Copies of this chain bind each other. A is one copy, B any other.
Amino acid sequence: MITLAVDCMGGDAGPRVTLPACKKFLDAHPDARLLVVGQPEALQSFQHERATLVAASEVVTMDDPVEVALRKKKDSSMRVAISQVKEGAAQVAVSAGNTGALMAIARYLLKTLEGIDRPAIATQIPHAKGGATTVLDLGANVDCTAEHLVQFAVMGSALVSALQEKENPSVGLLNIGEEAIKGSEVIKRAGELLRAAGQSGYLNFQGNVEGNDIFKGTVDIVTCDGFVGNVALKASEGVASMITGGLKQEFKRNLFTKLAAAVAYPVLARLMKRMDHRRYNGAALLGLRGLVFKSHGSADVVAYEHALNRAYDAARNDLLGRVQTKIQTAAPLLMPADSPAVAATVTSSI
């Protein structure tokens, strides 16, 4: 039996999306149980033999500063859901709430794993070959050292092995050129460490990759600073919505184009389905002593159900154990990033 603790209040639509998704998820997974966390009056309509209501009196809003979420709202649905994981009542928590608050609360309650300085956020991005590239970090860490980038690579490898059942997934370092001499000092040093890890067999490192490789599907995992990852992801979303918005506009232009749209619709729908990012909803918070998954705040029922599926798969395939094993195996690589030798390297990179 796998138990998920679900923050049913989080996300733009709250229980209107989370509850129907929970229902579908439970129907599809006979070996799953849910702890449905939130304000009882909002959740009381939800009844399922494998669901238990866990009351939480407060809700973290999208605009709440991290400090408010962490220090004031101690009975928030987000926090109570994560507490279930801490206390062992659930194997994984899921929330569509405020990312900054979720990471802060998760880090505070669960603590980071030994060998990891900073937890990271990893998500899958669909690529042209039909699969998805796992990218991390996506915004939890804005000033990364070379060692952090190696830690992300190790955690990303564990994630892909757990969710996609690939034993030795390939890793690329996001850079501005394929050549090893490209990039900042931090990136060059990360490249050296990753090459060493590849040679020792700790990681399947394939070298530098560029922004477009995320969408080509060149490697399974792309490791990058959270600032760069976040900008790349949002820029990509921007292009995609510009193109789909433009398509809609052009097809609505006049009677002829509307007819053309009707004819082209099945073809376009097939493409949209193939590239539907909802299928990849559910980002993992990695590097913590417990599993937490983040759904897009704007997720609909389909997308939210996918986030629940991913969290379930991660728990069932022992993501936490895999991350820990990977970290232990790769321990020689994961020296603390704040050691004096490393600090010196970083300072000299400016």
What is A's interface to B at a CB cutoff of 8 Å?
Answer: 127-128, 139, 142-143, 145, 174, 176, 183-185, 187, 210-216, 224, 226-228, 230-243, 245-247, 250-251, 253, 256-257, 259-261, 263-264, 266-268, 270-271, 274-275, 343, 346-347, 349-350
Contacts and interface: CB of A to CB of B under 8 A. Distances in A.
A213 B268 CA distance: 26
B212 A275 contact: no
Contact of A143 (B139, B184, B232): B184
Residue of A184, A212, A216, A261 most packed against chain B (CB within 10 A): A212
Number of copies: 2
A215 B234 CA distance: 10
Contacts of A142: 176, 183-184, 187
Contacts of A261: 264, 267
A143 B214 contact: no
A106 B271 CA distance: 45
Given A176-B231, A350-B343, A237 B211 contact: yes
A276 to B, nearest CB: 12
Contacts of A247: 268, 271
